Structure 1
């Protein structure tokens, strides 16, 4: 299945929020301090539609077919994590009166693949791989940058896809009680 891959726009926020939830539902609940899917989707929709934050449309690539967004990949420069996270934490404090303890999941020297997900009705069609190949071409081959990501050690299927597309394990991390492998692909 050949989809169009393009940069997201603020108008995509409502359609993208459920996809980001697929990739980070437990994390969003930790961030906002409650397990309320409607509030979590509203939180993500708000962040995606804004500029200059960790979840902004500015950092998202979408895979689209016939006007339907079937997948996304969200990446940003790891050196900018603290700056991009600040408006998110400020919004959480104001909107949810919650002050989550967060740890740095990335670092300077890598473009961090924060989230990637494919809509449930499109899983197994190669869209995730198409997104990965696109971002590897854009960042690794064209910009000569290293891409890093974290994958849950309890998700061997995702890790296998990353390894098949050229990523290799460089470290292990623990975030929000999950054991994660830190993978990278270099130019």
Structure 2
């Protein structure tokens, strides 16, 4: 069993989009301006193939297990968020979305883990842990001393995992009106 992690390519969109939906649920409706799940998936594919937003292949890493698409991680510098959220809001406005406000998720100075999701077929074999380790390697290579993420307060098992990995709750956060914990790991 060999796990490899690589930079995503635009051609990964169709395999990545369902994992983005799995990990982010209704948030994906908000960031795509769609209500039908098929349309959400198609819009995520469109965003994934572009280079002007945080859901782009440029900020996504693919985990492969024995050459098969096994999971994804969306990871970006917090200081990129304001510009790319503006781009996403403009895209939503042009689409005619009724809500094009984007909630901030990261702070400048943080390398932010937006999403980690493992294909259900490949869960519980250590891929998620490998992706977290990879995020730390990228942080070190790019000079970041903080890696951050947000977790819904009711997701107690995820909270325990993140604490075990060295993340600490630093502040409350709100995304789409829902309460989250903002967690940071110092590298």
Residue number in structure 1 paired with 2:67: 67
Q: Distance in 2 between matches of 1:59 and 1:34?
A: 22
Residue number in structure 2 paired with 1:134: 134
Paired residues for 1:48-67 under 5 Å: 48-67=48-67
State the TM-score, normalizing by the size of structure 1.
0.92
* Cα pair 2:32 2:44 within 8 Å, conserved: no
User: Where does the alignment leave 5 or more consecutive residues of structure 1 unmatched?
Assistant: none
Task: Report how far residue 116 of structure 1 moved.
Answer: 1.0
Residue number in structure 2 paired with 1:119: 119
Change beyond 3 A, Cα 1:169–1:129: same
User: Where does the alignment leave 5 or more consecutive residues of structure 2 unmatched?
Assistant: none
Residue number in structure 2 paired with 1:186: 186
1:143 and 2:146 aligned:
no
Q: Distance in 2 between matches of 1:185 and 1:77?
A: 14
Residue number in structure 2 paired with 1:29: 29
Residue number in structure 1 paired with 2:154: 154
Q: Distance in 1 between matches of 2:18 and 2:59?
A: 16
RMSD: 1.6
Could you list the per-position Cα deviations for residues 20-77 of structure 1 after superposition, in whole angstroms to 9, with x for gaps in the alignment? 1111121012334443110110111000111121101000111012332111110111
Q: Distance in 2 between matches of 1:142 and 1:80?
A: 18
* Cα pair 1:52 1:58 within 8 Å, conserved: no
Q: Distance in 2 between matches of 1:183 and 1:86?
A: 24
Task: Report how far residue 96 of structure 1 moved.
Answer: 4.3
Q: Distance in 1 between matches of 2:41 and 2:104?
A: 23
